[in-house]
Amino acid sequence: MQSYIWLLAALFLPLFPLSMVFNSVYQRLSMPLIRFVLIIAWPFPGIWILHEGNTQAPDWLIYWALATALLYAFRAISVKEVTMWSGYLATSAWAMGWILFIVDDGVNELSFHVLSFALPLAVMSLLLGELIHRYESAYAGIVSGVAVAQPRLSGLIIMAMMAAIASPLFPGFFSMLQIITTLVITYPLVTTGLLLVWLIWSWSGIRLLQELLVGPALPVKYRDISRARAVSYGSLIVLLLLSGLYLSGVLL
């Protein structure tokens, strides 16, 4: 019975190969708002199962979670489609939640961790909706030169990407710092693996960003997003920053 609980939890807090279910569903969705909801909601059944299960997870799950995090981070290197990349990043980040859960046994902190990565990606899904509306694609390389043609939208995508790859002052940064501080003495090699995952996120994220944004402007159907819309999305980014500062007080 216990194995079924772990498997079910591993479906929602995705571990490979069950992670393929989430990625398959996420890639099939076309409405940004549904993606927004899915990326926030998906991991919570997993957290609830772990909470209700009330049992100690086996240690080997740490290595499975690390392998998943590394696999999806590594796979993200060759991805050009930003929605697909978001799904991979979410999978990689959520897998780390298992490690935190097993080592620290804290379900509340697990929720913070999961949200700290889900929220930036949720904001990113909305911005990608705007991008697809304009270019009919979010495929880096086919779409390029967005920074020249759509400066406001580009600025917001940059900020969302920074938040997604756990840059300072965004919640992901403090979440990563807490995981690493918790693990460093008991699991130094796992910690090194997590640092590698973080490095690969930065690699794939920035490469994707520059393929999307840099270059001469392409002809585009619609103009840049309106000032009012930019302020709305910008407020979400500011909220992310504030939640990062709040999280630093809670976790550290």
The site for other proteins (CB under 8 A) is made up of: 20, 23-24, 27, 71, 74-79, 84, 145, 147-148, 154, 158, 162, 167-169, 173, 177, 180-181, 184-185, 188, 191-192, 195, 198-199, 202-203, 206-207, 210, 213-216, 248-249, 252
Q: Count Cα neighbours of 195 within 13 Å in the Cβ-side half-sphere.
A: 11
Task: Compute the least distance from the CB of residue 200 to other proteins, in Å.
Answer: 9
Among candidates 193, 217, 26, 45, which has minimal Cα distance to 114?
45
DSSP three-state, residue 150: coil
Q: State both tokens at 121.
A: 């990606």
Which amino acid, 124? M
By beta-carbon proximity to other proteins, the closer residue of 239 and 250 is 250
CA–CA distance, 211 with 143 (Å, rounded to integer):
8
Task: Compute the least distance from the CB of residue 197 to other proteins, in Å.
Answer: 11
By beta-carbon proximity to other proteins, the closer residue of 37 and 214 is 214
Task: Compute the least distance from the CB of residue 248 to other proteins, in Å.
Answer: 6
By beta-carbon proximity to other proteins, the closer residue of 85 and 101 is 85
Handedness of CA 52, 57, 63, 64 (dihedral sign): negative
Task: Compute the least distance from the CB of residue 178 to other proteins, in Å.
Answer: 10
By beta-carbon proximity to other proteins, the closer residue of 132 and 158 is 158
Neighbours of 227 (CB within 10 A): 10
Contact yes or no for 77/200 (Cβ under 8 A): yes
By beta-carbon proximity to other proteins, the closer residue of 37 and 230 is 230
